[in-house]
Structure 1
Amino acid sequence: MSAGGRKLRAGLIGLGAMGRNHARVLSGLDGVDFVGVHDPAGDPGGLLGVPVVAELADLLALGLDYAVVACPTAVHEPVGLELAAHGVCALIEKPLALSVDEARRLVEAFESRGLVAGVGHIERYNPALRSLRTRLEAAELGEVFQVVTRRQGPYPHRISDVGVVLDLATHDIDLTSWVTGQEYVSIAARTASRSGRPHEDMLAAVGQLADGAVVNHLVNWLSPLKERSTVVTGDRGCYVADTLTADLTFYANAAISTEWEALRTFVGVSQGDMIRYALPKREPLLVEHELFRDAVDGKDSGIVSLREGLRTVEVAAAVLSSARDGATMRISASEVPHPRRGTPVHFAPGALVDE
């Protein structure tokens, strides 16, 4: 409910697989009046209970406070610029845009008009990762040594305009920076296309964060096994977050005395207790919508800013450049709100530097 006591008027752009999920949540979201959808294919049998219009102008004519942009990544920029020009706030599905330049233009368009805008990096609302971030922030793991993510499964036929780097790996890039509170400073990557499609369907990447932690990402559309795993290792043990089940498990380091002389001289970690945390498990997409609604209503809700979305696109661009050129890419810092504190840190303008 807006500060004036009326419901916020929300629209949706795009009725693909993700768009239909957004429509479901918007239809029952407290304080929001879901007023219409723009999709060039027209009304799918009137099942949504709201008008589905073929032109964006017709959706804008309904008088929106904000819109959810769930159309293909290739048209995020023109759609976003049109929304900004009409004073409409926007939640834009990840990735923010196809390129760094497009993402920067979207940042400028919304910031220059003082409009609330965010990026739909839904993993930030996964209960396992939210709990993991809180525990890392409290230094429960001590120094973080490594972050390893695995994101693989069958090819999703809804995707045709981008490969796994922009579609899937942007999840891992964003969540890694967010849970650790650290920016990427370098990345080296290899990609391949084994399924005959024009974009890459497999990625292996190794990177480093500003605090020295090592990062590994394995991403593909080639596996019958669907896997969504984030493992963070530090000097007190490791956390394993399974974002398919929203489970978080802690494996502790332990010092166990032994009479076995051959093992007594080993310097390293030992297997200790294992804890699986009991977490409240709310639907991440619903949480994302609630926080964005609150942001449009003027509350400080901690949404993913466009500048954070831009940073993720910058790192993804470095991944693709590294894979193309066979080189390690240094990623210079940019002025982005710190993913942990939410306050700006000032650096030189972002750039990619081939090492």
Structure 2
Amino acid sequence: MGRHHARVVRETPGMELVAVADPGGDRFAVAGGLPVLPDVQALIAAGIDAAVVAVPTAHHEEVALALAAAGVHTMVEKPIAHTAEAGARVAAAFEDAGLVGAVGYVERCNPALLAMRQRIADGALGEVYQITTSRQGPFPGRISDVGVVKDLATHDVDLTAWLAQSPYATVSAQVAHRSGRQHEDMVLATGRLANGIIVSHTVNWLSPRKERQTVVTGEKGALVADTTTGDLTFYANGTTTTQWDTVAAFRGVAEGDAIRYALTKREPLRVEQENFRDTINGHPTTAAVTMTEGVHTLTVVEAILRAAAEGITVDL
């Protein structure tokens, strides 16, 4: 992810890429004319105002704490740390230092989800009943240190709580190990949010079909976001009753109009970087992910793994 952040920082007004660090060198050739520094201390010594941490999850805490101690505003790629306990230490360090600390959940910046959240807030669905997500596709070669829950499901947990504007209250889950790796590669998770909305997440990286879909169902209909294409569709509850009795008997609500909205589609990573910039400048947006939110998401993710391992429902 570091190579993508480097590109976007260079292209974002109000930001300038002045230093990069990677002990493994610059294998993606993103440094340009900048020297490739060996570690976070060298990065800090370059006199930076802000940093993006895109290192393996196991190193998030160490690098982020060093940046907090040096007074550097920081966005840490998701998840915030390798454990919720470590994430809480990171969040506390930035809060105590009065610094901006953010977490890189880029799905919040997807045009379909941004439009979905706004329409939910505007009352397009009325009362929200349920949120379901499906995130499936082939195995990503970049992953080595975590399973599908901490790598992919963490996106769904974050965006669900954000869309509903409510934290998780309970979770249950099942996982499967089918690829021969140490970590799980499939998960089915269900839960309930503090505001009563029920949720479910289907996540794996063993499917030949890539799917990124979020469905929010409420009293007025359903909103369906395809985050692969950035499309948002509204399926309204209908008012016309069916005359076919055998079909009507199996329907809860009538099918109404379906509308696919025309959205302005900007690169989510660019929007995320602008949100980070604006938060540093004192203008935070609802799509910016705070470290406190990042800790909650990781707490839920750990609860999902515990629920699956012990066969229980975990109360948060």
Q: Normalising to structure 2: TM-score of the pair?
A: 0.96
Change (3 A) 1:69 1:280: same
Contact 2:19–2:48 (CA<8 Å) still a contact in 1?
no
Question: Equivalent residue for 1:311?
Answer: 296
State the secondary structure of the residue aligned to 2:183. Answer: coil
Question: Equivalent residue for 1:348?
Answer: none
State the secondary structure of the residue aligned to 1:155. Answer: coil
Change (3 A) 1:213 1:316: same
Question: Equivalent residue for 2:2?
Answer: 19
Question: Equivalent residue for 1:40?
Answer: 23
Cα deviation for residue 33 of structure 1 reads 1.7
Question: Equivalent residue for 1:341?
Answer: none
1:215 matched to 2:199? The reply is: yes
Question: Equivalent residue for 1:280?
Answer: 264
Matches within 5 A, 1:53-64: 53-64=37-48
Contact 2:41–2:66 (CA<8 Å) still a contact in 1?
no
State how far apart, in whole Å, the 1-side matches of 2:284 and 2:23 are: 34
State the secondary structure of the residue aligned to 2:203. Answer: strand
Give 1:326's match in structure 2, choosing from 306, 311, 315. Answer: 311
Give 1:241's match in structure 2, choosing from 202, 225, 236. Answer: 225
Change (3 A) 1:260 1:161: closer
Which of 63-72 and 293-302 deviates more?
A: 293-302
Contact 1:35–1:51 (CA<8 Å) still a contact in 2?
no
Cα deviation for residue 300 of structure 1 reads 3.0
Question: Equivalent residue for 1:29?
Answer: 12
Q: 1:299-321 CA deviation, whole Å, 9 max, x = no partner?
A: 23342110010110110011011
State the secondary structure of the residue aligned to 2:66. Answer: helix
Cα deviation for residue 203 of structure 1 reads 0.3
State how far apart, in whole Å, the 1-side matches of 2:57 and 2:73 are: 18
State how far apart, in whole Å, the 1-side matches of 2:29 and 2:153 are: 35
Q: 1:267-293 CA deviation, whole Å, 9 max, x = no partner?
A: 721111110000001111001101111
Contact 1:80–1:90 (CA<8 Å) still a contact in 2?
yes
1:87 matched to 2:41? The reply is: no
Question: Equivalent residue for 1:203?
Answer: 187
Cα deviation for residue 48 of structure 1 reads 2.5
Q: Which has the higher helix share?
A: 2
Percentage of identical aligned residues: 53
Contact 2:79–2:294 (CA<8 Å) still a contact in 1?
yes
Q: Normalising to structure 1: TM-score of the pair?
A: 0.85
State the secondary structure of the residue aligned to 1:309. Answer: helix
State how far apart, in whole Å, the 2-side matches of 1:46 and 1:212 are: 48
Unaligned ranges ≥5, structure 2: none
Unaligned ranges ≥5, structure 1: 1-17, 332-355
State how far apart, in whole Å, the 2-side matches of 1:177 and 1:324 are: 23
Cα deviation for residue 266 of structure 1 reads 6.4
Change (3 A) 1:254 1:74: same
State how far apart, in whole Å, the 2-side matches of 1:57 and 1:217 are: 39
Question: Equivalent residue for 2:131?
Answer: 147
State how far apart, in whole Å, the 1-side matches of 2:114 and 2:30 are: 34
Question: Equivalent residue for 2:80?
Answer: 96
Question: Equivalent residue for 2:114?
Answer: 130
Cα deviation for residue 187 of structure 1 reads 0.5
Q: 1:104-147 CA deviation, whole Å, 9 max, x = no partner?
A: 10011111110111000111111100111011111210121111
Contact 1:238–1:250 (CA<8 Å) still a contact in 2?
yes
CA RMSD of aligned residues (A): 1.5
Which of 63-72 and 253-262 deviates more?
A: 253-262
Cα deviation for residue 261 of structure 1 reads 4.6
Change (3 A) 1:78 1:261: closer
Contact 2:73–2:100 (CA<8 Å) still a contact in 1?
yes
Change (3 A) 1:46 1:216: closer
State how far apart, in whole Å, the 2-side matches of 1:320 and 1:80 are: 25
Amino acid in structure 2 at the alignment position of 1:326: G
Contact 1:43–1:53 (CA<8 Å) still a contact in 2?
no
Change (3 A) 1:215 1:301: closer
Amino acid in structure 1 at the alignment position of 2:14: G
Q: Which has the higher strand share?
A: 1
| Greater relative contact order structure (CA < 8 Å, 6+ sep) | 2
Matches within 5 A, 1:248-287: 248-262=232-246, 268-287=252-271
Change (3 A) 1:248 1:232: same
Give 1:183's match in structure 2, choosing from 153, 156, 167. Answer: 167
Q: 1:67-95 CA deviation, whole Å, 9 max, x = no partner?
A: 00010111000000100111111000011
State how far apart, in whole Å, the 1-side matches of 2:40 and 2:9 are: 18
Amino acid in structure 2 at the alignment position of 1:121: Y
State how far apart, in whole Å, the 1-side matches of 2:246 and 2:69 are: 71
State the secondary structure of the residue aligned to 1:223. Answer: coil
State the secondary structure of the residue aligned to 1:215. Answer: strand
Change (3 A) 1:131 1:119: same
